[in-house]
Amino acid sequence: MTATAALHKFELKKPATGFGKSVADELAPLYDRMTNHKIVQVMESGKATKKLIHGLAKEFLPVIRGTYRRMALRMQHIPPHDCDLQAALLTELQEEIWHTPMYYKWCRAVGMSLPRDFTNGPYVPETYAFVMFLSLSSSDRSALEESCGRIIDDEFFDTPQEYSQVGSLLQTVSATGLALYGFPPASDRLGDAFVKNYGLSKDEAEWWYEHGSVDMEHAKLGLDIIDRYATTPFLQRRAKEAAWLSLELWLRQWDAIYAKYGN
């Protein structure tokens, strides 16, 4: 007997609003800062020191290692009847399983000793702040309500606020998906730099290529979700604030990495 798997094409059914593009346009300067960060430029020039390469590897690891867990946790924010959205995010989740081993492969290729070089001193404070925000944005609904509700919106200042599952969904997707838009171009450039300037093979730099232009589908999915689900001014504010905060924390982490380990 041969079992045949049923095939289903999943499509988000909510109508597009155009809001996603407007948010991406507004965040474009932050995306550009990520794509053209000083770390990227120095790596491309071939002048990055071992200290900077290892510093980037160490400080970025907590972000990378926690991604699969965060992507799994954010599934709780999806309304149970929205099977198409669940399927879309589960597809992303299954791809993420192999990314931590890819990252370790790159770390070893640039001469790091694992786990010693990850445990040889404290991380910069900006790494703790960025990782904490990403983790909370995926797992803690009350933190989501607090960070992008009461503090941002006058009508909720110091008053009880009704929980919104869609609001939490939009915030976690904005923080971990919409904020991603500026990274793939930077990741492609870093992958090429490691191959061209630092003697790595494309296989050893696979993590960076995997998160380059081929990873734009993840960013586009996040944009599409925001576009279709942020249908009120309140939800749009929450999505925009979460994306902005995530990008700012990410950029400040990379600024701190360069300040501590850079040339």
Supply angle C-alpha 97, 182, 21, rounded to 5. 105
Cis link prior to 122 (omega < 30° from 0)? no
pTM, two decimals, is 0.87
Does domain 19-261 fall under CATH 1.20.910.10? My reply is yes
How do residues 195-237 score in pLDDT, each as one tens digit?
A: 999 999 999 999 999 998 877 877 788 889 999 999 888 888 8
- The pLDDT score that the predictor gives to residue 166 is 79
Q: What CA–CA distances, in Å, run from 3 to 6, 7, 10, 87, 263?
A: 9, 13, 22, 21, 59
Q: What CA–CA distances, in Å, run from 210 to 32, 117, 183?
A: 20, 24, 11
Biggest CA pair distance of the chain: 64
How do residues 30-74 score in pLDDT, each as one tens digit?
A: 999 999 999 999 999 999 999 999 999 999 999 998 887 888 888
- DSSP H stretches of helix in 11-124: 19-35, 38-45, 50-65, 67-73, 83-96, 99-109
> Helix, strand, coil shares of the chain as percentages rounded to 5?
75, 0, 25
How do residues 65-74 score in pLDDT, each as one tens digit?
A: 888 788 888 8
How do residues 8-18 score in pLDDT, each as one tens digit?
A: 456 787 899 99
